[in-house]
Amino acid sequence: MLNLFTGQNPALRSALTAVFALLAFHGVAQNDITADADAAFDRGGYFEAAADYQASYAKLKGDLEEKGRVCYRIGECYRLSRALAAAEEWYKRAVDLKWADDNPEVFMNYGMVFMGQGEFDDAVEQFEAYKKAGGDASLAKTMISSCNAAAESLIVNDSRFVVEPLVMVNSPSFDFAMAFSDKRGEEVIFASSRSSATGSGEDPITGESYMDLFTAEVDRKGKWSIPEPLGNTINSPSNEGGVTLDSKFKTLYFTRCLIDKDNNYPCDIFVAQRTGSKWGAPEEFPIVDRATDDSSQVGQPTMSPDDQFLVFVSDMQGGQGGKDLWYIQWNDASQEWGSATNMGPGVNSASDEYFPHIRKNGDLYFASDRPGGMGGLDILKATWKGDGMNFETPEFMEYPINTASDDFALVYHPKEEKGYLSSDRPESKGKDDIFSFAMPPLEFDYAAYVYDYDTGMPIEGASVTVTGSDGESVSVNTDDEGGAEGGGWSIGSESTYAVDISKEGYISAGDQFSTVGLSKSTNFIKEYLLREVVTNEDYPMPLVQYEFAKADLVVNADCNSRDSLDYLVDLLERNPTFVISLEAHTDTRGGTAANDELSQRRAETCVNYLVERGIDRQRLQPLGRGETMPLISDAEIAALATEEEQEAAHQMNRRTVFRITSFDYVPE
């Protein structure tokens, strides 16, 4: 990747193609043999430096110390250019030459190369070696934790995002940092080093053409036009990349990084106005005073939806470390932009932050190489607090938005739940590529199957009625397989549904379910068992318990008798013609008369509860059965081995059941 904004910390990622051309590792030439290579490396010319280092390597006959350093530098060139497989070889040589023993950062960067290729076990091994060689134990722990979390996310993948390469737009060269340039989201601008770029020279950082801005359009069927250069008023022989537009899509802000063979110059933001379909000549957008600051890098702008804030990336003094996100604010009174303000430690980190994007809803997205991600650059989201540049703590986005590769420059469509991001993941055509991402709408389906409780056979002709919290209701009958005719239907999100199942001659049943808060599409496949109506037959019900030797309902963590009786409330409401008897039974301990009286009071307690819940007392008959109808005889209980088993048997005898005595009640 072209490193248009590389940092001095050797553990940092190569900031991606066309990020910023910033001087990197300000090293000192070790000897005349490597002088040219060191000079190229120090100015960020990694493509050139790698070739020079390899040429000098063979000339370093017996100097093992210097050979180890050169191997490490070659590995760095390839890592910072995202040629990770090539970097592996040279890091290994540096380790074999013992240069890493006194330079633990070799192990750290070696591990990051493995991590960037999804080889998490090998990465963990290098991070452990980094810690053992005297590296930062806390950083090693964080990186190991990141590897484990990344490996797990690839297996679990709870994300609903769908990410696909933009095949019709990408080229074998670098393509990245797409931005929307019209209100419909059908026109885009992006950076590319493809052969049709303006610059004819070879960028010493990448060995490819310099970056230019290109434009393309997509129709409503998803067909893309052939990308075209944005125009020679915008593109120059140097690098352009990282753009944003105002809310009217009339003003373009973009990054330009002047570079030649021997020098890198600070990147700056330029601004151009659109007249019709043409862009006027750009002017430098002064954020830093070049008379007093000739080295700070400035670029990768994004505009807030209300045009009041311009967020950008810079390494100017006063940041949190490396490249930070900064902003300037428009002053309506003076009609001027204010001075640069760092977004602070709540957003920035000691690592590097890149490619900010503010979505229409105010949320901030950006890329960072901070520890805790999946590898490479990762995309974070910071939810807007609803006021100015105040955001919640950023969080890493999940796979497949983030991968072990570099993932960056995420932008959302102005109107829809989709957008684009840039990545060098394995599906890329060549270097960095542009990928589309989308959040498909949640889909919920409901299907019902109705069976006979006793026989398990399908019930044909049962009525299934589903009523949503929005008031909409659907009714269907079941077929000869017990399934709802037509196989079911779609239901809405963020809704609650009540289900009524009925069939003549059966006890009507029901159900409730909800899609509120669900983050995954779900098929609700429900099975319902209907009991045939038989009069004067015991029907079991949920457990109802009473205080010892009392008629008070037990309500505690182990048994909520009120909830159990609510089962009967629901049943009687669904079957409004039923008349039932509620029958309470005791165990055989205690006197017969006392148990008769106790069971009658318990049955009346149940009836009173149902009446309180709105059931007509005429439909309810309390019957105390005492100890006359035990399920388990005294002899059977006495034969049980333990007191615990015996007490459980007595409890089974202390039961409450109901009988349907008639089903011809006429509600008033």
189 burial (CB, 10 Å; 0-12 / 13-18 / 19+) is: buried
Structure-model confidence comparison of residues 1 and 612, the more confident one: 612
pLDDT digits (tens, 9 = 90+) for 600-653: 999 999 999 999 999 999 999 999 999 999 999 999 999 999 999 998 899 888
156, 173, 188 - which closes a domain: 156
Residues 6+ apart with CB under 8 A from 168: 223, 224
Residue 104 scores a pLDDT above 60 = yes
CATH of the domain at 646: 3.30.1330.60
Residue 637 phi/psi, 5-degree rounding, is -70, -45
Tell me the sheet residues that pair with 162: 438
Same-domain check for residues 578 and 487: no
Q: Which residue type, as a one-letter code, is found at position 77?
A: C
Residue 272 located in a structural domain: no
Averaged pLDDT, 268-281: 93
Same-domain check for residues 38 and 143: yes
Same-domain check for residues 571 and 516: no
Residue ranges of alpha helices (H) inside 81-119 are 84-96, 105-116
Q: Which helix (H) or strand (E) holds 503?
A: none
Q: Are 188 and 179 in contact (CB under 8 A)?
A: yes
Residue 47 located in a structural domain: yes
Q: Global pTM?
A: 0.73
Residue with tokens 């319902």: 528
Average pLDDT, the chain: 89
Same-domain check for residues 36 and 150: yes
Residue 120 located in a structural domain: yes
Strands 341-342 and 324-331: what pairing?
antiparallel
Rounded to an integer, what distance in angstroms lies between the CA atom of residue 279 and that of residue 69? 48
Q: How many domains does the chain have?
A: 3
Domain that holds residue 635: 561-662
The pLDDT value given to residue 261: 61
Closest CA to 615 of 625, 605, 623, 607: 607
Same-domain check for residues 584 and 490: no
Closest CA to 373 of 410, 408, 343: 408
| Helices then strands, each counted (H, E), the chain | 11, 32
Residue 267 located in a structural domain: no
The pLDDT value given to residue 157: 72
Same-domain check for residues 515 and 598: no
pLDDT digits (tens, 9 = 90+) for 382-420: 999 999 999 999 999 999 999 999 999 999 999 999 999
Residue 256 located in a structural domain: no
Q: Which helix (H) or strand (E) holds 293?
A: none
486, 507, 530 - which closes a domain: 530
Q: Spell out a b/e string for 271-310, using b for 16 or more CB atoms within 10 Å of the CB, else e.
A: bbebeeeebeebeebebbeeeeeeebbbbbbbbbeeeebb
Same-domain check for residues 524 and 603: no
Same-domain check for residues 525 and 569: no
Tell me the sheet residues that pair with 189: 179, 215
133, 156, 179 - which closes a domain: 156
- Tokens for 531, please give them: 């009991």
Same-domain check for residues 500 and 569: no
pLDDT digits (tens, 9 = 90+) for 528-568: 999 999 998 888 888 888 887 889 988 888 788 899 899 99
pLDDT digits (tens, 9 = 90+) for 232-251: 899 998 899 999 999 999 99
The pLDDT value given to residue 263: 64
The pLDDT value given to residue 23: 28
Averaged pLDDT, 428-437: 89
The pLDDT value given to residue 291: 87
Same-domain check for residues 40 and 131: yes
Residue 86 located in a structural domain: yes
CA angle 229, 233, 234 (to 5 degrees): 60
CATH of the domain at 510: 2.60.40.1120
Residue 609 located in a structural domain: yes
Residue 20 scores a pLDDT above 70 = no
Residue 56 located in a structural domain: yes
Residue 205 scores a pLDDT above 90 = no
Residue 155 scores a pLDDT above 90 = no
Closest CA to 340 of 294, 400, 289, 386: 289
Averaged pLDDT, 72-92: 92
Residue 314 scores a pLDDT above 50 = yes
Same-domain check for residues 466 and 506: yes
Strands 522-530 and 444-452: what pairing?
parallel
197-211, 276-290, 373-387, range with the lowest pLDDT: 197-211
The pLDDT value given to residue 260: 65
- Tokens for 218, please give them: 């997509």
